[in-house]
Amino acid sequence: MTAAAGDAAYRVLDAGTRAFWRTVGRRVDLDGEHSWLRAPAADSGAIGESWLDAAAASVAGTVGRGEGGGLVPDLAALDGPGFAADSLDPAVRHFYEHTDEWTMDAWSSWSPVFAPGGLLVEHLFGRRLQQLALPVQPLDVSHGIDSEIVAIRDAAGEQVWAAWLRRLRRSGQFLFSGAYAVRALPGAARPSVHVTFPLEHGNVQVFLRPDVREDGALVLTSTRGPFGGQGAYVLVHGAGARQGGGAWAAKVPIHEEFIVFVDDRGDLRTDHELRVGPARALRLHYRMRRGKVDRTTSRLVS
């Protein structure tokens, strides 16, 4: 198959995927009732960091690179019945509020039942689009992950989203490129952590409920429930439509749990579990350390 024929085949695949989600999803009003689903999307081609400028333009704002910062500037924004940021271990809170000062190592383990599907998604979409490239082989992340926080600010200079760009240290290939914010769902008692992964003319969104464990660990959970609650959503825009145009969304049976904790040696770690329905599909484990990896020496520097 020629490169041109391959590109044409992928365009058909991508258009067919969006048509599927428009068929199974519901029409949503991003300017009204469903404004909680308004989030960055991307244009055609590789995703990577291509969506940053458009996301800033959508709020008449700017992209702030090289500023450092964190996924959530102040975790107290999540405070509400059942959650108080002051109860978190200080290291956990520092990671979320100053994420760019940390580096990550990762390990992955797929369920044998779901590994072939993960490999297919990685091959057809993840590597090609430079987005949602879930590591299927443990060695894929053996050299670590480089991450960068980019602030997307509105006209008043307030952070609307934190773009978290994560690449494989060895190859530079994007694993995830996400927009992080705090958002209240309709009727919710307290805000959620809102994570968006931009895709071509759409996105995948996850709303995570925050809780604090007795030991100061942060637990983020996307629970089961009806449309409008915590969980994972796929959103697609109509053909050629920009933000605010016709859009469709579907809640999907993917559930996640993150436990961010300090272990008995004082290291900050995260256990991440992804389930499809009731079945566990993927487990990821992260170790986070203060500092950045010097590419010339491969050493962690403060």
Per-residue model confidence as pLDDT tens digits over 72-108: 999 999 999 989 999 999 999 999 999 999 999 989 8
Q: How far is CA 6 from the centre of its chain?
A: 28
What's the residue count for the chain? 302
Which contiguous run of DSSP H or E holds residue 117?
Answer: helix 115-121
Task: Measure the CA–CA gap between 137 and 119, rounded to whole angstroms.
Answer: 9
Q: How confident is the model at residue 117 (pLDDT cuts 50, 70, 90)?
A: confident
Q: What is the pLDDT of residue 243?
A: 43
Domain extents in the chain: 3-301
User: How is residue 29 written in tokens?
Assistant: 């009003």
User: Cβ-count burial of 79 within 10 angstroms (0-12 exposed, 13-18 middle, 19+ buried)?
Assistant: middle
Query: What residues are paired with 252 via a beta bridge?
Result: 232
The 3 state secondary structure assigned to 236-253 is EECCCCCCCCCEEEEEEC
**pTM of the predicted protein model:** 0.91
Mean pLDDT of the chain: 88
Phi-psi region of 216 (alpha: psi -120 to 50; beta: other; left: phi over 0): left
Beta strand spans in the chain (E) = 26-28, 62-64, 102-110, 145-153, 159-168, 174-183, 192-199, 202-212, 218-221, 231-237, 247-252, 254-262, 268-276, 279-290, 292-294, 299-301
Task: Measure the CA–CA gap between 222 and 239, rounded to whole angstroms.
Answer: 30
* Average pLDDT of the segment spanning 172-191: 91
Per-residue model confidence as pLDDT tens digits over 193-213: 999 999 999 999 999 999 999
**Over pLDDT 70: what percentage of the chain?**
92
**Over pLDDT 90: what percentage of the chain?**
64
Q: Within 13 A of 184's CA, how many CA atoms are on the CB side?
A: 10
- Answer yes or no: are the C-beta atoms of 234 and 204 closer than 8 Å: yes
- Answer yes or no: are the C-beta atoms of 292 and 300 closer than 8 Å: yes
* Average pLDDT of the segment spanning 277-286: 93
Quick check: 220 pLDDT over 80? yes
Per-residue model confidence as pLDDT tens digits over 3-34: 555 566 767 777 888 889 999 999 999 999 99
